[in-house]
Amino acid sequence: MPLKVIADTFTLSRDSAHLILLKTIKKPRTDDQVWVTMELIDFGKYGRAAGQKIIEVIEDVFFEDDDKASDNVYERFEGTLKEINLVLKQVQDKKGLGKTLRVNAILAVLSGNHLYLTQSQKAEAYLIRGGKCSLISDTFEPNKNGDIFTTIASGDLRDNDKIIFSTQRLLRFFTNSQLIQTFTSGITEALDTVKEAVLNDKEASIGVSCVHTKIPYLSEAVSKGPRENPLLQKVKGWATIAIDFIMAKLGRKKTSFNQNTILVILVAVILLLVISVSLLMDSSRNRALREEYRLKIEALNQDLYTASAKGYTNDKESANAILDKVDRDARTILDTNYFRPEALALLDKVQENRDSINNTKRVKGTVPLVDLSEKKADAAALGFMNLDDHFYAFEYNTLFETILSKVLDPKIIDEKEIATAGTAFPDGGMLLFLTQSGRVIEYVSGRFSYAGTEDPSWQAGTDLIAYGKNIYILSPAKNQIYKYTRLRSRFSAANEYNKDADLKDALSLAADGNIYVLKQGGQIVKLFKGSKQNFSINDMGSDISKATQIFTAAEMNNIYFLDPTNKRVVLVRKDPNGGATYKGQILLEDVVGTPRRIYVDSAEQKLYLLTDSKIYALDL
């Protein structure tokens, strides 16, 4: 009887020069399956075409449906390898990839209980059986024709064998005994341990597949003879009951059938037929649903491979769209009573692929640097700023000054005014607060006072920033940014900075010589000397439609967006052409409270996050 197979895989590709292909190929009406664990190095743009062609050769040659196809698995495998060697030579000749192709691969065939495999270059295969680990792949020795795949090893598999196919030598990361110990648990947990070990090597790229063999369970009744349909067993039981009932009736009336007896017999027969037909229809429907969901699971696994491939080519939009579809379909299957473990495994892989494609960093176990509630239990901070390496957080009328991880006693900003926004003004050595009534309060040397302007009053706004000796107040209601210059003891009159941009629904400002404006829905407006500039973000791998703050500075290479709804910070890298390119995102999974504002140090080593009552420091 063929062995049952449980399998799992993982890949780690450090750069585009390493293309890793992991695939299981199986066709209907056969128990044979082919495992491909392959790494193509320095194939450039021709790598994916070569990998796809190898898969097609296996499907067309090994699984040939022609009546003339050999029943001998070894012969079919040998013929397949010859065709694959020919494909690789053609790629080498046409594309000029050099004298030697770099292909680390294990190709394996499982037929019944028998394993056939071939190996090339640095790839290795291991068998863990009975507490021992053995290398079962041959040492790579190219023949005179320069073929990549030259020899075939074979052997029988047993119950509870674990076979590992790897594109790199695993014993460089583990000792023999450590590898055995790692795979005493389930293969998914074991591969997680392998992945952690490989990640410590900053240059390693690798693909690993693991197969765990099991003998299908057979009950005692099944082992003694052909299996009987359980539905038929139930029908037989009901039939026996009906017949016993009818015979009991006949026993009392041996020579004649009265009307009541005939009626009872007819009702019993009709009831038996209705129940039997109903159960058979339910069974047929269940079998059809199981097959439908099984095929769906296979298709979703193939979609995951496609998404991963698109991620390697930096097509993040397509990759994320595919992952969203897999996520939805897997959750639909999860809501049924079929293939729940497989659906859960799919969801785990969706998250893993999504994190890899979108360069996602998940922050866990974060401890607050500062806790404002130590000084005010009901603290509800609105913003914070950094002046002379000291952090200041504020709420509507209270200022909290921190020194290292300590919070000083809070100070009242103003008894009547309500602060709505604030900024540090390093050139003036002060903090500035914009109030709800449209005034500006300055904080210098421990004292609050109203800031003066040469205008009769300040322009009202929703956000303000400082850049050099100027401050800028954002006023979406007037579609304007007002620029004020610091004079000796006051600020100049307001100058209208915006010339041609639509600032309706604007939320936040940032400056690096240019002025960046974040609008509701995630739209970015870039201004230089008041004029709107072209600005777009390439390869966007995240959504900033819920972002509420934009942050950058002249000395920074990146622009940062705070999305409090989804508890994440999105990073984009500034490009020389004036646009930007998606870089990654930080998910704030263990942060307590609603994120309010962010601040990044000038060297971009630390990101500081303010919530309602806490300040967190995160490594970038």
- According to DSSP, residue 491 is labeled B
Least confident of 55-59, 203-207, 275-279, 327-331: 275-279
Q: Which of 65, 58, 93 is nearest to 79 (CA)?
A: 58
Maximal C-alpha separation, the chain: 126
State the average pLDDT over residues 177-188.
88
CATH hierarchy code of domain 4-217: 3.60.40.10
Indicate whether 312 pLDDT > 60: yes
pLDDT at 255 over 50: no
* Residue with the larger pLDDT of the pair 591 and 466: 466
On whether the CB atoms of residues 595 and 610 are closer than 8 A, the answer is yes
Q: What is the per-residue DSSP string for 409-474?
A: PPEES-SS--EEEEEEEGGGTEEEEEETTS-EEEEETTEEEEPPBSSSSPPP-SEEEEETTEEEEE
Query: Residue 90: pLDDT band by 50, 70, 90 thresholds?
Result: confident
> How far is residue 386's CA from residue 401's CA, in Å, rounded to a whole number?
10
Q: Which of 283-292, 347-356, 401-410, 432-441 has the lowest mean pLDDT?
A: 283-292
Higher-confidence residue of 29 and 226: namely 29
Backbone angles phi, psi at 576, to 5 degrees: -60, -25
Tell me, what's the pLDDT at 112? Answer: 87
- pLDDT over 60 at 250, yes or no: no
Residue 372 pLDDT: 93
Residue 204: its pLDDT value, please? 87
Q: What average pLDDT does the segment 304-323 reach?
A: 82
Report the pLDDT value the prediction gives residue 220, as an integer from 0 to 100: 36
Mean pLDDT value across residues 198-206: 86
Q: What is the pLDDT of residues 91-106, one digit of tens each?
A: 887 766 555 788 999 9
- Predicted confidence at residue 16, as pLDDT, reads 79
pLDDT of residue 254: 43
Q: What is the pLDDT of residue 4?
A: 82
- Rounded Cα gap, residues 368 and 167, in angstroms: 42
Which residues of the chain are in CATH 3.60.40.10 domains? 4-217
Checking if the pLDDT of 140 tops 50, the result is: yes
CA–CA distance, 536 with 581 (Å, rounded to integer): 8
Kindly tell me if the per-residue pLDDT of 278 is higher than 80: no
Question: At residue 443, does pLDDT exceed 90?
Answer: yes
Using 50, 70 and 90 to split pLDDT, how confident is the model at 108?
Answer: very high
Per mean pLDDT, which range of 236-245, 360-369, 483-492 is the poorest? 236-245
Minimum mean pLDDT among 127-131, 154-158, 217-221, 600-604: which range?
217-221
Lowest mean pLDDT among 214-228, 259-273, 385-399, 535-549: 214-228
pLDDT of 469 strictly over 50: yes
pLDDT band at 284 (very low <50, low <70, confident <90, very high): low
- The C-alpha atoms of residue 586 and residue 566 are separated, in whole angstroms, by 11
What does the pLDDT look like over 528-556, one tens digit per residue? 999 999 999 988 888 899 999 999 999 99
More confidently predicted of 529 and 140: 529
Backbone angles phi, psi at 243, to 5 degrees: -65, -45
The residue length of the chain stands at 620
Residue 218: what pLDDT? Answer: 43
- Is domain 370-619 given the CATH code 2.130.10.10 in the classification? yes
Burial letters for 497-521: b for 16+ Cβ neighbours within 10 Å, e otherwise? Answer: bbeebebeebbbbbbeebbbbbbee
What is the model's pLDDT at position 14? 78
* pLDDT exceeds cutoff 60 at 257: no
Residue 177's SS3 state is: helix
pLDDT score of 248? 59
What confidence score (pLDDT) does residue 219 get?
38
pTM confidence score: 0.55
Q: Which DSSP string corresponds to 314-343?
A: T-HHHHHHHHHHHHHHHHHHHTSSSSHHHH
User: What's the mean pLDDT when you consider all of the chain?
Assistant: 85
Name the more confident of 532 and 203. Answer: 532
**CA 438/CA 259 separation, integer angstroms:** 99
Q: β-strands 537-538, 580-588: how paired?
A: parallel
Residue matched to tokens 């339910």: 282
DSSP element (H, E) containing 397? none
Q: Measured between alpha carbons, how far is residue 492 from residues 433, 484, 487, 618 in Å?
A: 17, 6, 6, 38
Confidence of residue 570 (pLDDT cuts 50, 70, 90): very high
Indicate the pLDDT class of residue 260, thresholds 50, 70 and 90. Answer: low
User: How much is the average pLDDT of 168-187?
Assistant: 89
Interval 364-386 mean pLDDT: 90
Q: Residue 188's pLDDT is what? A: 86
Q: Is a pLDDT exceeding 80 seen at residue 576?
A: yes
> With pLDDT > 90 as the criterion, what percentage of the chain qualifies?
48
Query: 239 pLDDT exceeds 90?
Result: no
Q: What is the pLDDT of residue 414?
A: 93
